[in-house]
Amino acid sequence: MRVFVIIAIIATCVIGCGQNRSWSGRIISKKIRPPSALANVHVSDINVIIIDGTRFERVRGFKPFYLQVPGSNSILFVTDESDYSVKYHCFDMDMDRDTVIDAQSSVFGRSIGLNTAEDVITNVNNGKILLCNLDTNARSVDQRLHDLTSTRTFYLLDLPGRTVSGRTMYLNKDGAIIEERTE
């Protein structure tokens, strides 16, 4: 009998610990330790979101790993891919549909879940979502950017077209634009 009680307690901890449920239990956000971590202590935990049974791994940010898209019943999150590219996911909770947009790279998503406003959705209009990443501790070895103190990178996600475009503004301490680059 004691063995059964001990197994039940361990199973409850393994299943229940480290999970965050929201949207009436439809979303589970958790960190998992990959099996390769047993052989290599340098292997990092993997962020996972499970939405209605669909599993997404290598999700950027911190729990809950997603942002709610204003004016909709959708969430937005970013995943890192094995080829070092990224995928933007806009998951419509009403339609149970994931719209995926591939990108070569992105600075967006690493601070999702933190109480800072570094990664935010700034506008949503006609199937387009404007994202902004703010880095207030930017530095560069490029001499043209010697006064650099922050960057502001905007990404425009076009959900119907499944495309993304980006622009980065390099700012000095007064907030003046030193340089702009289109990605």
Q: What is the pLDDT of residues 45-100, one digit of tens each?
A: 889 999 999 999 999 999 999 999 999 999 999 999 999 999 999 999 999 999 99
- CA–CA separation, 85 and 92 (whole Å): 23
Burial class (CB in 10 A: 0-12, 13-18, 19+), 150: middle
- CA–CA separation, 159 and 99 (whole Å): 7
- The domain limits of the chain are 17-182
**Cβ neighbours of residue 171 closer than 8 Å, sequence gap 6 or more:** 138, 148, 149, 150, 151, 152, 177, 178
Q: Bridge-partner residues for 151, per DSSP?
A: 135, 170
Q: Yes or no: say if 23 and 74 are a contact pair by the CB < 8 Å rule.
A: no
Q: What is the pTM of this model?
A: 0.81
| pLDDT tens for each residue of 109-139 | 999 999 887 999 999 999 999 999 999 999 8
| pLDDT tens for each residue of 9-52 | 444 444 444 444 447 689 999 998 877 766 777 778 889 999 99
